[in-house]
Every structure is written in structure tokens, then in C-alpha cells.
Structure 1
Amino acid sequence: MREEAKLTPFEQWLEQRGFAPLSEVTVNGCGEHAVILAAREGRSDVLAYLIRERGVDLGVCDAYGNNALWAACFAESAECVALLLQAGIDIDYQNPSGSTALIYAASAGKHAIVAQLLAAGANWRLTTADDFSALDLAANRQCLQILRDLSRGVRAD
């Protein structure tokens, strides 16, 4: 392995988080996927590197069944969300409980992310295994208003 001083910033990021920076392996000893961790940290630079240079699998999930888009929503990183959507991640992926990134973002009160996902075409009608939609679970007034307007056919321009 090369000295840390000779590693690129992206390789250093990988190494610091337990990944083999010069390997194609993108899962660390804790079972974390690099693409999910980069998204969860809001590291759009690392995420772009992983997508463009490493060709990471966007279909991987964490131990809870959530994908990198969910992690980017957790970080409230519009840049990471945009990168993942441009790379072709499934915007309507449902985790084992049926929750989508949109449902999560609405339930966490992340209204800017809710608006971004809806603008990108997220299906606001999907429901969890318990039959709750993003509108049902909206955690704050902003999320509720965005989703209500959409359900009533009002454009949010």
C-alpha cells in the first residue's frame, strides 16, 4: 500500500473509514458501503468520485435496507441527492418497511429535500407497509403544504 501522503484525497477518505483505497472493494470491515457512507456524510465530492471513477453499485443497501438516496436525504445534501439521481438511483426504492426516501424526508421534516425529490419525479402516492404516505407522515408545516398542494393538483412554482 502507498504512503498516506501519496494517496489522493478520495483514497484518504476511503482509508480513514476502513476501506481499501486501492481496491475495488467498497465495503469496510463494519459492513458499511462507501457510497452510502459518503452520501450520509453529505460528501458530494467523494460520492461523485465513487460514481464516476469507481462505478459503485447504486443498488446496495445498509443494514436497515436503506439505499444511498436515503442516506443523502438524511444528510440533507441536495448535491448528493442530485448526483445519485443523475447516476440513475431508483428514486422510488422502498426499504423493507415500504418507506421511500421521500417518505423518510417528509417524516423528518426535510422540506427542501422533499421539494427536490418531488421535482425529480418521486412518487408521492407510495405507502409504507403500514399504509402511510409521505403526506400522512409529514413532520412539519412546510412538508405538509408541499405534499397537500401536490395532492390537490396545485403547482408549487
Structure 2
Amino acid sequence: MTSAERAAYQCLSAVDAASLILAEPEITLFDVRDLHSYRQEHLERAMHLSEDRVPLWVGRLPKDAPVLIYCYHGNASKTYAQMFSDFRFRRVYSVDGGYRPLAIALNGPARVSGTDGSAELGAFLAEWTFDPADLNAPRQHGLTPLMRAALQGQREIAGELLALGVDIHARNDDGNTALWLACVSRDRGLVQDLIDAGIELDNRNDAGSTALMYTASSDRPELLQLLLEAGADPHVRNFDEMRAVELSASRACLKLLRHTAD
């Protein structure tokens, strides 16, 4: 099949993809992120798809069935979309920007207000020019108020934000959550607060790295141990195929991870 004979897939913005999903409730949705991320959260009705299962679905779905595919940021989904197009599926869509923008476009970001919060919270929001009417709205570098409080090591402010119900799963421009940023500030209590709040332990940023990898590579054994005890996965690999044990910057970190070396 020449490139000219290939059926073309379409790339859709998150907003257009959300409109399509709402307009066509029978559309087939595929999530091509790793299985751990899929199990953590995914769109309703979306099925996990790996490359080895593409032939199964190619043989099962009618060629005129609409298929929409999303990944982390909109790159891998194009590869999968081309696979379906090569098998002459006529309506195949890849989502630009990936899962997070699509989920927000479908569900809308929760608006959590801090207008009735403490004076300290109000001063913090003003200092960093956050919108007190929407505590999930990001500012510089994609940081939300919770992320900023974590980065600055302001545990009491972070605690108040958590009590108000802010989104603990939000990611900044590098794909990091508040957990990573709390590890940067080295605030053990704040890290524990985020763990207790149910933050995802194994979120992978845009380099495929987790907070566990960061604590190992930056010589933070006390936080490394805390994450391990909470259930963080030491076997996750970044996009360079490195695990936390291989990134360890000190003997203390290596000792905590020695059981994962094999």
C-alpha cells in the first residue's frame, strides 16, 4: 500500500474530540498509555490498547466504526491511529495533547473557591497571583496553588488547600504533580500529607520519571524511604529505561533500593 492509498486519520484538539465523543456515544475509545496509568484513571468507556492487541480489534470492529485514540500528549496515539487507517478504517481520530486536556474538556476543571479561606491563604494566593475563585487554575510553569505551596514547603497552606478539595492529580508544564514538588522542598510532613490525601505515587512526568526516581537521584533517602513505605513502585523505568536504583546518588539511597537491583 502506497502512502497515497493510505486512509488518513484526523488529529483533533481536546475540545473537538470531546464534542465528537458527546455527539457519538457509540464511538470506540482507546487509551494507549501504559497499563498503570490506565488503571489509575481513564475516560469512561475507554479500553486499554497495546500494540499486540491491535490485530484483535482490527478484526472485530467494522471498518466504518469511528475510533478515537488518546495517549499522554498526542504522539503515540498518532502511531496507533495510522495502524487503523492502514487497515482502511475510515473514521480514525488522534487527540492532540493527550488524556489530560481531553478529560478536562469532557468534564470541565473543578472550580474550588478559596474566598472563604484563612487570611494566610488569601495572602499566599495574592502573592503568587492565583485566582481565589478557582484554586485549580494554574499560573507560571503550570503550577496550581497546591503545587506552589508544595514547592515552597508551606505545609499549612497546602493542608488548607487539601481540605478545600483541590485537585491533587493536576500536573505542571513538566508533567509533575505536587508530590514531586514537595520532595523538592524536602518537607517530609507535606509529602506524607499528600500521600494520605491519595495522590498518585507513580505519576511519570514528561521524561518518564517518578517522584521516587527524583528522591533517589537527588540524595533524599528520608523521602525515598517514605515513598517506598507508602507503596511507590521502584521497578518503574523512565524513558531512558532507568529505574530508581540505577539513578541513586548515594549509598544510603542505594541501600534502600538494593532489593530492586536484580
TM-score class, shorter: 0.7 to 0.9
1:35, 1:28 → 2: CA distance?
A: 10
**Count of residue pairs brought into register by the alignment:** 144
Assess, with a 3 A threshold, how the Cα gap between structure 1 residues 129 and 139 changes in structure 2: closer, same or farther.
same
Query: What corresponds to 1:110 in structure 2?
Result: 220
1:143 matches 2:218: no
Higher strand share: 2
1:23-68 CA-to-partner distances (Å, cap 9, x unmatched) read 1244354342111111111111011100102x11111111111111
Q: Percent identity?
A: 33
* 8 A Cα contact 2:135 2:145, kept in partner: no
Give the root-mean-square deviation of aligned CA atoms.
1.7
Deviation at 1:97, TM superposition (A): 1.6
Amino acid at match of 2:235: R
* 8 A Cα contact 2:216 2:248, kept in partner: yes
2:216, 2:157 → 1: CA distance?
A: 26
Query: What corresponds to 1:83 in structure 2?
Result: 193
Query: What corresponds to 1:155 in structure 2?
Result: none
SS in structure 1 of the partner of residue 254 of structure 2: helix
1:28, 1:70 → 2: CA distance?
A: 16
Structure 1 residue runs of 4+, over 6 Å off?
none
Assess, with a 3 A threshold, how the Cα gap between structure 1 residues 96 and 39 changes in structure 2: closer, same or farther.
same
2:186, 2:241 → 1: CA distance?
A: 25
Give structure 1 stretches of 5+ with no counterpart.
1-6, 153-157
1:43, 1:25 → 2: CA distance?
A: 16
1:29, 1:74 → 2: CA distance?
A: 19
For residues 51-90 of structure 1, the aligned pairs below 5 Å read: 51-53=162-164, 55-90=165-200
1:134, 1:8 → 2: CA distance?
A: 40
SS in structure 1 of the partner of residue 257 of structure 2: helix
* 8 A Cα contact 1:17 1:28, kept in partner: no
Query: What corresponds to 2:127 in structure 1?
Result: 16
The structure with more radius of gyration: 2
Q: TM-score, normalised by structure 1?
A: 0.85
1:67, 1:138 → 2: CA distance?
A: 21
1:32, 1:15 → 2: CA distance?
A: 14
Q: TM-score, normalised by structure 2?
A: 0.52
1:28, 1:58 → 2: CA distance?
A: 13
Higher RCO (CA 8 Å, separation ≥ 6 residues): 1
1:40, 1:29 → 2: CA distance?
A: 14
